[in-house]
Amino acid sequence: MRRALCLSISLAAALLSPSGAAHGANDPLLRPIEPDYARQWLDPERPHRIFGNSYSVGFGGLSVALIRTDAGLILIDGALPQAVRDIEANIRALGFSIRDVKLILSTEPHYDHAGGLAALARDSGAPVVASAYAAQVLRKAGKDANDPQASIFVRIPAVTKLRIARSGEAVRLGGVTITPVATPGHTMGSMSWRWRSCEGRDCRDMVFASSLNAVSGDGYRFSDPAHRSQVAALRKSFAIMRALPCDMLITAHPDQGKGANCRSYADSAQARLDARLRKEASARPWNALR
């Protein structure tokens, strides 16, 4: 009897929970990741049209984009597991359904952008589309020894239903063409996505840009000769980002793109890398002797 009562109370709590957090307790794909730290990213935001067929269904600190096509929806990024029910509610608020999502594009396999992918793929039945490198990492629950943040690795629900995208090779759905643009460096599998959105004859080049930030776990040095390819990848990604046709920029973390275009976004990422390399150089003990 007492057991039945507990069950009915927790069931009621689950049904009442606006964010679905209570559901997550029993659903391994919705189990919250770093809930206290991650809260800073999940400020609720009203889902809205960005331009033409492109919508925002994300949060104050994490972008999740939705693109409407004649053959269903394309979602970009999955935020965190504990954000999935809110993303799905945002999609509903725009008059669509998670079941209409046919493709889920991924910018990087870190937990803040990829933690919700497995649940979103399950709930929609759509595959997750990622670079070959990122797909391997998503399959291994986010684990990547080459990641500058490997020492502070946070496991995500492994993604199993994957489709590989190659940079420059168009992904098509229902009359919409999305072009993957490899922008590695923050993670070696990072991918940005570009497409065109129109309102009547007014068409804009849209870019959903992956993070380009040179950040790492403790002990990792970008100036270590062993990490030369990581730095080279970042510099190449800055150049690629700068050159993109880019009327409207959506950045994986919205605060990094406020008032920015692709060029200034790349410029600030480059300034950050250069500052980081200078800091590493001045921290060398033998530097003081010169």
Taking the complex as a whole, the smallest distance from the CB of residue 133 to Zn ion amounts, in Å, to 14
# residues near Zn ion by CB under 5 A = 2
Ranges assigned E (strand) in 17-148:
48-51, 54-56, 65-69, 72-76, 101-105, 128-130
Helix (H, G, I), strand (E, B) or coil at 91: helix
Query: What's 59's DSSP letter?
Result: B
Q: Which stretch binds Zn ion (CB under 5 A): 11-19, 82-90, 107-115, 269-277?
A: 107-115
Among residue numbers 130 through 159, which ones bind Zn ion (CB under 5 A)?
none
Asked if residue 110 binds Zn ion (CB under 5 A), the reply is yes
Q: Nearer to Zn ion by C-beta: 38 or 91?
A: 38
Q: Name the strand (E) or helix (H) holding 275.
A: helix 262-282
Distance CA 180, CA 286 (A): 43
Task: Give 65 or 176: the residue with its C-beta nearer to Zn ion.
Answer: 65
Task: State yes or no: residue 190 binds Zn ion (CB under 5 A).
Answer: no
The interface with Zn ion within residues 239-268 (CB under 5 A) comprises none
CA 182 to the chain's CA centroid = 14
Buried b (16+ CB within 10 A) or exposed e, 26-62: ebebbebbeeeebeebbeebebeebebbbbbbbbebb
CB of 212 to Zn ion, least distance (A): 10
Span from 121-129, 164-172, 211-219, 240-248 in contact with Zn ion (CB under 5 A): 211-219
CB of 119 to Zn ion, least distance (A): 19
* Residues within the interface to Zn ion (CB under 5 A): 110, 211
